[in-house]
Amino acid sequence: MSSPVFSVPHVFSVPQAQAAAAQTSATLLPFPLPVLAPQGLPVSPEDTFKLTPSVLRGIIPSDTLLWPQPVFSPTPSPTPPAAEPEIQAFFTQVHTGKLEDVQNNAANPDFQLVKLIDSAQTSLDIAAFEIDSERVTDAILRAAQTRNVGVRIVTDSDYLHEAQIQRLIKAGIPVVDDQRNGLMHNKFIVVDADSERATVWTGSTNLTENCFWKNNNNALQIRSRELAENFTAEFEEMFVQKKFGISSPSVVPHPSVTVGKTTIQTHFAAEGKVAGKVAEALNKAEKSIHFMAFSFTHDAIGQVVAQKFSDKVDVRGVFENVGAGTQYSEYAQLKALGADVKKDGNPAILHHKVFIIDGKTVITGSFNFSDSADKNNDENLLIIESEDLARQYEAEFKQVYAKAR
């Protein structure tokens, strides 16, 4: 009896081929999978193959069945991780009130800041009101001692004696303090300023365990060489020129920066008349003004918010409990008008300095809404046009507002 002839094109699987061969005298011929699977895709014994005349003609006898040989393709390269967003906002995870929920929470700003510091390759300029976080200090020392990153620090004289800043000084890291009555109140870091990786960290969060683990705070991480140039210029005024407060030159290389589709204005106090910039932005509000304020005592800013409330703009805000009761706070005035303002419910500190306008503009930084911040301190403030970022800050506002009273 002659061997069976299988016409082509013919579709079969390996088990089908084995069954056919057992019932006939056909031969199972090992056949390399690259021919059966021209794309070189990995296959299993259950896979089905379509054999075409162009593949078989002149190669395989008509009484032969094909037996696909296993071919082990090399493991494909892992898909590279998605690039981090150019703008990231982080909020202290303190809403449960449990310290253990914060200290080991990877979403908390201290973890994120350590990650950023650990990514530094060439330079790390730090303007920090206070540094007492051991976790952050360890990361700074790793950068300087293990990777030879150039680290420079500016801080406030009032906290120069603390243990962690002394560790950094003893390790040979240059530290400049402001040596004056006004505050060097910034909380910003510039990473790898002279590269395409240039990144700015800023916000309300001091580099302290209280600010990271107990207080309501926010931080921004923004990858932008132009923004880094703005903050580097401010840093150089303090670190190199020893110019602080109102004596600091009013130099901002890029007053308005575009990052992706987001526009960012950069302002520095005391030289930049920042309170006027805040009032100007608030005066544009048409629908809503929501705020979280550690200190809100600036009358001109308070007057704009009060007027907007009278104009039927939705005004809601949370004041830090301690400061809200003073004669200087704008709390009493807004409360008397009927605005929806509350005192925070965090047993520690509400440390935000945030306005959210019309669900699309975010104002944040180290700048408290006070005369001292405007006229005496070294501060920074960003005015950011971004609906996406505003949504993130609104989510934080809702959590803070829900616990307020």
Q: What is the DSSP string of 340-397?
A: EEEE---SS-B--EEEEETTTEEEEES--BSHHHHHTSBEEEEEEE-HHHHHHHHHHH
- How far is it, in rounded angstroms, from Cα 162 to Cα 184? 16
pLDDT at 8: 34
Largest Cα–Cα distance of the chain, in whole Å?
A: 110
What is the pLDDT, as a whole number, of residue 22?
A: 54
Spatial distance between the Cα atoms of 139 and 153, rounded to a whole number of angstroms: 14
pTM above 0.85, yes or no: no
Query: Does the structure show a pLDDT above 80 at 346?
Result: yes
Q: What is the DSSP letter of 184?
A: B
The residue-averaged pLDDT of 271-295 equals: 98
Between 101 and 171, the higher pLDDT residue: 171
Q: Name residues whose C-beta falls within 8 Å of residue 232's C-beta, 6 or more positions apart in sequence.
A: 125, 190, 193
pLDDT at position 97 is 87
Give the separation between CA 261 and CA 259, rounded to whole angstroms. 6
What's the pLDDT at 32?
Answer: 42
- In the chain, what are the domain boundaries? 10-68, 87-403
Q: What percent of the chain has pLDDT over 90?
A: 78
- The class (CATH top level) of 87-403 is alpha beta
In this structure, are strands 150-155 and 123-128 parallel, antiparallel, or unpaired?
Answer: parallel
- Residue 369 bridge partners (DSSP): 296
Q: How confident is the model at residue 311 (pLDDT cuts 50, 70, 90)?
A: very high
Residue 42 above 50 pLDDT? no
How far is 222 from 64, CA to CA, in rounded Å? 65
pLDDT score at 78:
66
Which amino acid would we find at residue 51?
Answer: L
Q: At residue 113, does pLDDT exceed 50?
A: yes
| pLDDT tens figures, 187-243 | 999 999 999 999 999 999 999 999 999 999 999 999 999 999 999 999 999 999 999
Please report which confidence band the pLDDT of residue 125 belongs to, taking 50, 70 and 90 as the band edges: very high
Q: Calculate the average pLDDT of the chain.
A: 87
